Amino acid sequence: MEKLTGLKKIKTAVFISGKGSNLKNIIRFSKIKKSPISINVIISNTNKARGLNFANQSKISKKIFDYKNVNFAENQILKFLKKKKIKFICLAGFMKILSKGFIKKFDGKIINIHPSLLPKYKGLDTHNRAIKNKEKFAGCTVHYVTAKLDSGKIILQKKIKITSKDNPKTLAKKVLKQEHKLYPAAIKKIFY
């Protein structure tokens, strides 16, 4: 990713499917002077994503795309992103897998946050699996998105201890707290 040279913030879209706590935090970060990005668009595959409320609150344009036909949905999203001059994409709990073709159009410009210490525990249900396997550490990772799920180059990672008292729920809560710090730090790392 090219480094930031001008004063203009990079127009960014955040893709969500759920409660959007990372989105909320990225929006907050984007508003500070030192943020390299501005959040201009929020995209979701479902109108049930609670995080969409943050779009209303912060007056950011939001759009929901029906994923019944993936190809069609992705083409519509690409058109929309082009219209809005979006140059960078942050996935934050987006539950759809982007196609190779889509990723190619934003090559090296899509990042994601994953609730595990990648390359361990790709995919879903990470906390449950980590506890079952008696892991000593859990964590979160911000990485570039490539066609292979949760496998792109790692930008930043944060490790936390799993205690004997942890269950998937408490662990998820602890990790999420770290995610909120890690995502902005990773964005800074990319552009500065």
Task: Cite the active site residues.
Answer: 114
Which positions from 21 to 60 touch ligand GRF by CB under 6 A, shown as an x/- string? xxx---------------------------x---------
What is the smallest separation between the CB atom of 69 and ligand GRF, expressed in angstroms? 24
CA-nearest of 33, 62, 32, 30 to 49 is 62
Determine if 176 is a binding residue for ligand GRF (CB under 6 A). yes
Residue from the set 4, 11, 18, 160 that interacts with ligand GRF by CB under 6 A: 18
Q: In sequence order, which residues have a C-beta less than 8 Å from that of residue 107 and are 6 or more positions away?
A: none
Which positions from 106 to 125 touch ligand GRF by CB under 6 A, shown as an x/- string? -------xxx----------
State the amino acid at position 13 in one-letter form.
Answer: A
**CB-nearer residue toward ligand GRF: 18 or 75:** 18
Residue from the set 92, 138, 156, 182 that interacts with ligand GRF by CB under 6 A: 92
Tokens describing residue 47: 């109108």
Say if CB 180 and CB 25 are below 8 A apart: yes
Say if CB 110 and CB 42 are below 8 A apart: no
State the amino acid at position 94 in one-letter form.
Answer: F
Task: Give the nearest residue (CB) to ligand GRF.
Answer: 93
Q: Determine the length of the chain.
A: 192
Q: State which H helix or E strand residue 173 sits in.
A: helix 168-191
Positions that interact with ligand GRF (CB under 6 A): 16, 18-23, 51, 92-93, 113-115, 140, 176, 179
